[in-house]
């Protein structure tokens, strides 16, 4: 059974290259299948290009879904990264 939660993209540039790279690196650290969905599109969290193709800009909501042994930790960590605005100085 998977876990999922919606998060609001708050950083000014949205899910751009650097943010997508950070998210992908974080996703690869967990033993879980992680995907993000927004606007009818879905991308695997370990694919920088896939994440960028979601076109998740500031103010958009993404659904993060995790499934696997580390699913709870993965959801928490990815949620923290998104809520921390990908550690960007705005």
Known catalytic residues are 16
DSSP codes of every residue in 46-90: T-HHHHHHT---TT-EEEEEEESTTHHHHHHHHHHHHHTGGG---
d(CA 84, CA 72): 18
């Amino acid at each position: 059974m998977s876990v999922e939660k919606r998060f609001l993209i708050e950083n000014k540039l949205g899910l751009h290259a650097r943010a997508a790279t950070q998210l992908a690196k974080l996703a690869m650290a967990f033993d879980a299948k992680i995907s993000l969905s927004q606007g009818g599109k879905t991308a695997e969290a370990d694919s920088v290009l896939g994440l960028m193709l979601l076109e998740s800009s500031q103010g958009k909501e993404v659904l993060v879904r995790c499934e696997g042994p580390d699913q709870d930790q993965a959801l928490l960590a990815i949620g923290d990264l998104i809520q921390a605005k990908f550690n960007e100085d705005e």
